Structure 1
Amino acid sequence: MSGSGRGRVLVVDDDGDLLASTCEWLGATGFSVEGEALGSAALDRLKADPAAVPDVLVTDIRMPGLDGIAVLEGVLKLDPDLPVVLLTGHGDIALAVKAMRAGAHDFLEKPYDADHLVAVLDRAVAQRRLAGEIRELRLRVAGGDALESRLIGNDPEMAELRRRVAHLADIDADVLIVGETGTGKEVVARALHDCGKRADRPFVAINCAAIPETIFESEVFGHERGAFTGALGRRVGKIAHADGGTVFLDEIESMPQALQTKILRVLQERQVEPLGANRLQPVDVRFIAATKADLKQRAAEAAFRSDLYYRLSTVELHLKPLRRRRQDIPLLFDHFVKASAARHGAPLRPIRPETLAALQAAEWQGNVRELKAEAERYVLGYSQLAAPPAGEDGSLPARLAAYEAEIIRQALDTARGNVAEAAEALGIPRRTLAEKMARLGLKRDRLAAEA
């Protein structure tokens, strides 16, 4: 059955003239339509080619052989989500109501209004597609596909992280994500939200280090009109705005202790009190916090409230720095390069072995975020660390020479063309570096000018 933007319909009716006119009308209104005169033939079609199953099936009730009720029962066994619309005669209303209770989507009494049939089919197609999207999402989450496209890596700890995120997504336990800057803490938080039951509600990120303490309460808890000078109207706070969804408290270690007390109260009571209000407002939110610090140690040093730490850390997820999972660097870099090339409409440049070697040798203090920025520069032609070598010679000596030239070029760039400083940084005599530069065609004056 060919595809259609409006939907695919299979019509079953033993009245040949009515079947032809129904198919013709639905086809004219934008549906992709096929017809069968027998209920048994319709079921055989569905069994033979599952890929061609329609979005909705329309069947007459009174037919020789398998009647409409038997077709309904057979369809629901094959595909419980397939909407079935029954066409009934005047004396079949009670039978149609019984069929509705058995799982039919709707029924129309003959002679039916053609426009009404189209409206019923539009609703049925919408229901079918929504059910398909939900089923696909569940399968992707269960199979890890959705998470593998977000939490990328073959490192065993990354696989375990994906498993834990899939398990925790539908659980309302508060989560503390611990990791260095750039390891992807917000990516993990969004995965917990997007793959869970709160996905259709807001995800509200609050950077605890970016909001000045003087306006923190107003921004996070909200305020009433006249609560302070300049409060000209009522403002819904970020936590109340996230009702039904997720609040992400990023850089929680930067939150002043006075505000930690207020956040703790919200975590415990799931209520907020806007500034200037004399009432508590219930909120249904899940809290996910992130930190690059050792909060347990900070709590022991009285630099962070211990009760808030223990309240936040119902479950802790620890993210490894990129330098401790170097085997994932080629996979991540390739992913970021493809995404950046698609975004900028740029051609994909081959990533050569010496380029990957340079990437894997780097320290990546900025972790995945820094690698992503390097991929962006690579696509735009501004990368130095990951710059592909000139020429098309793919031999091992040529690749080694290109890699060596790139390392020397980086050292000279850092030293602003000073050969002595570059040689010291590389741990080789100045004369050796000069000889290598001559052999590789690297000129100090040009490098200094480029720097």
Structure 2
Amino acid sequence: MSLETKAKLLIVEDDEGLQRQLRWAYDDYEVLIASDRNAAIDLLRAEEPQVVTLDLGLPPDPNGVTEGFATLEKILSLKPETKVIVASGHGARDSALRAIASGAYDFYQKPVDIDQLGLIVRRAFQLHGIESENRRLGEQVAEDRTVLGTMITAAPEMLKVSRTIERVANADVSVMLLGASGTGKELLARGLHNASRRGSGGFVAINCAAIPENLLEAELFGYEKGAFTGAIKTTEGKIELAHKGTLFLDEVGDIPLPLQVKLLRFIQERTIERIGGRKPIAVDTRIVCATHQDLPEMIKAGSFREDLYYRLAEIVVKIPSLAERPGDAVLLAKHFLQRFSR
């Protein structure tokens, strides 16, 4: 194994005989040797070793621990991720425990048991590697904490939702997204569209609650020229515009009953007629809908058709509210702060 690929072990020890013994024992690592605090800190800065073994009894205080603790404090202040294993003399267990409390990874007693110390060193390298990978992944997620390309989240609940949507993306079935306002239903619908085979087609969204009842039919189905006052030209509706793509019906619970009948007929026959038209038009579109309302209760109350519900809800995905997604509020706040401060 070349030096470039070896993990780095810094041995801070003033006993030259023990230096040679440890260097020989750990040829799996790139071993760096320092005899005092200044040399140790210089090597720490220059080489950035992952693991350090540190004799607490360093000159100019070889019989005490003052210099050793000063070295430990400096190492952890410069490179807090470094795993420091301290050596204590016989009967100096209190100093070792104090070092652990100060941030050292572990300790060993002199005289040195090479095999025992070797085990501690290996564990220290393994832990350092795991923590480094976790930090790398954390930084990567922090840079792009999105699911389905657009939704910012780190909540396990939302990751589960996104995995469900990814699984059903290419199953050409209707999907109903249930969740409170502001939970990202349209973002998830768009993500589903982009992840599906229809991704190259159009994604057409309409908020059924935002359009007056007398205009919603025209918005959905389009109209022929002269169909009503103001219809000065033939206009395609949202359904027709979503041909070969995805139609997103937001707040589908607000569609009035008479229009629900016409929508059900389209889903069953996959053809529409524009207002004022007599010619059936075949439309191939996938429907994704969303609502914050309790549709089963609306069915009981007679304000939503049960047959339409089952046509729209072939797959139902429940989206947790922001209050049920710990950490996402802070994550979103940071995102918008960065976005609008540019």
Q: TM-score, normalised by structure 2?
A: 0.55
Does residue 245 (structure 1) correspond to residue 245 (structure 2)? The answer is: yes
Report what 1:270 is aligned to.
Answer: 270
1:429-448 superposed Cα distances (whole Å, 9 cap, x missing partner): xxxxxxxxxxxxxxxxxxxx
Residues 98-137 of structure 1 mapped to structure 2, 5 A cutoff: none
Residues 371-450 of structure 1 mapped to structure 2, 5 A cutoff: none
Does residue 321 (structure 1) correspond to residue 311 (structure 2)? The answer is: no
Task: Decide whether the 8 Å contact of 1:178 with 1:316 is kept in 2.
Answer: yes
Deviation, structure 1 residue 154: 2.9
Q: TM-score, normalised by structure 1?
A: 0.42
Report what 1:233 is aligned to.
Answer: 233
Q: List runs of 5+ in structure 2 lacking aligned partners.
A: 1-143
1:204-245 superposed Cα distances (whole Å, 9 cap, x missing partner): 111111222222222211111222223222111111111111
Report what 1:286 is aligned to.
Answer: 286
Residues 1-400 of structure 1 mapped to structure 2, 5 A cutoff: 147=147, 149-341=149-341, 345=342
Q: What secondary structure does 2:152 align onto? A: coil
Once the two structures are aligned, what percentage of the paired residues are identical? 42
Which is higher, the Rg of structure 1 or of structure 2? Answer: 2
Q: What secondary structure does 2:261 align onto? A: helix
Q: Which residue identity lines up with residue 326 of structure 1 in the other structure?
A: P
Q: What secondary structure does 2:279 align onto? A: coil
Deviation, structure 1 residue 167: 1.2
More helix by share: 1
Deviation, structure 1 residue 329: 2.4
Deviation, structure 1 residue 145: 8.1
1-side partners of 2:326 and 2:145: how far apart? 22
Task: Decide whether the 8 Å contact of 1:152 with 1:158 is kept in 2.
Answer: no
- The alignment of Structure 1 onto Structure 2 pairs a total of residues equal to 199
1-side partners of 2:200 and 2:249: how far apart? 19
Structure 1 pair 145/334, CA: closer, same or farther in 2 (3 Å)? closer
Structure 1 pair 149/234, CA: closer, same or farther in 2 (3 Å)? closer
Report what 2:52 is aligned to.
Answer: none
Q: Which residue identity lines up with residue 154 of structure 1 in the other structure?
A: A
Deviation, structure 1 residue 193: 0.9
Deviation, structure 1 residue 150: 2.3
Q: What secondary structure does 1:326 align onto? A: coil
Q: Which residue identity lines up with residue 200 of structure 1 in the other structure?
A: S
Deviation, structure 1 residue 152: 2.9
2-side partners of 1:319 and 1:228: how far apart? 40
Higher RCO by CA contacts (8 Å cutoff, separation 6 or greater): 2
Q: Which residue identity lines up with residue 220 of structure 1 in the other structure?
A: L
2-side partners of 1:198 and 1:331: how far apart? 31
Task: Decide whether the 8 Å contact of 1:151 with 1:158 is kept in 2.
Answer: no
Task: Decide whether the 8 Å contact of 2:177 with 2:290 is kept in 1.
Answer: yes
Structure 1 pair 228/148, CA: closer, same or farther in 2 (3 Å)? closer
RMSD, aligned CA: 1.8
More strand by share: 2
Task: Decide whether the 8 Å contact of 1:223 with 1:236 is kept in 2.
Answer: yes
Deviation, structure 1 residue 290: 0.5
2-side partners of 1:258 and 1:224: how far apart? 20
Q: What secondary structure does 1:176 align onto? A: strand
Q: Which residue identity lines up with residue 183 of structure 2 in the other structure?
A: T
2-side partners of 1:214 and 1:149: how far apart? 36
1-side partners of 2:278 and 2:234: how far apart? 14
Q: What secondary structure does 1:205 align onto? A: strand
Q: What secondary structure does 2:226 align onto? A: coil
Deviation, structure 1 residue 146: 6.4
